[in-house]
Amino acid sequence: MAILEFALLAFASIVAITEPTSTIPEFLALTRDLEAKERRRLALKVVMISFIVLAFFALTGHLLFVVFNITHGAFTIAGGILLMYVAFGMFRPRKEHSQEEHEGAVIPLAFPLTAGPGAITAVILITAQASNLFETFLVYAAISTAMLIVYVGLVYSSKLAGTLSNKALQVLPSFISIFILAIGVQFIINGIIDVSSLLPVGA
């Protein structure tokens, strides 16, 4: 595979599968009572954790999946369960958030919403196709580019929040929780399909 072709594959695939704009509604819902400075700080944590997760699996992902005998289906199911937990938590009556609760929002925003099973799998598969050190470097460059786009989107999400009314911001978490719950259910369904396809016929 030519270097240019590999570069296009790596950048297009990783940027697309991390869906840079997909975390903006969740970020607004989970951090709506924070000031812009705190939003930027949490956004930076989200992209840093996401980058570490993706870079880690780019380096060791294939080995870990083999050593621990983890399938993509099992990983997808685990990500779906975590998403459902986050969604049910957003259904609970809101209270004044502590700093610890805001910090806790970083994890689901990073994984599985940004660096989810699909993104991790894509990174592992693309890294496996790298035939030299430069192509491996391109994978990490693609991850960095995707995370930069995610960071910009999260930072400027506060501008969008400023255009919404207080009533809309009150309704947003409930609406987003249903959306997250649906994503979690779909992750679990996809994982079950993947796992069932590995079962022997007649099992």
How many other CB atoms are there within 10 angstroms of residue 53's CB atom? 21
Q: By the 8 A CB rule, do 57 and 120 touch?
A: yes
At residue 25 the predicted structure's pLDDT band, cuts being 50, 70 and 90, is confident
Q: How far is CA 18 from the centre of its chain?
A: 6
Helix (H) or strand (E) holding 7: helix 3-18
Q: Quote the pTM value.
A: 0.68
Q: For residues 186 and 62, give the distance between their C-alpha atoms in angstroms, rounded to a whole number.
A: 24
40: phi then psi, degrees, rounded to nearest 5: -60, -40
pLDDT of residue 24: 76
Q: For residues 179 and 173, give the distance between their C-alpha atoms in angstroms, rounded to a whole number.
A: 10
**Mean pLDDT in the chain?**
79
Query: Is residue 89 classed exposed, middle or buried when 0-12, 13-18 and 19+ CB atoms within 10 A define those classes?
Result: middle
pLDDT at 187 > cutoff 60: yes
Q: Which two tokens stand for residue 134?
A: 């430069």
**pLDDT digit string, tens, across residues 93-117:** 555 445 455 455 677 788 877 888 7
The residue-averaged pLDDT of 28-54 equals 85
At residue 169 the predicted structure's pLDDT band, cuts being 50, 70 and 90, is low
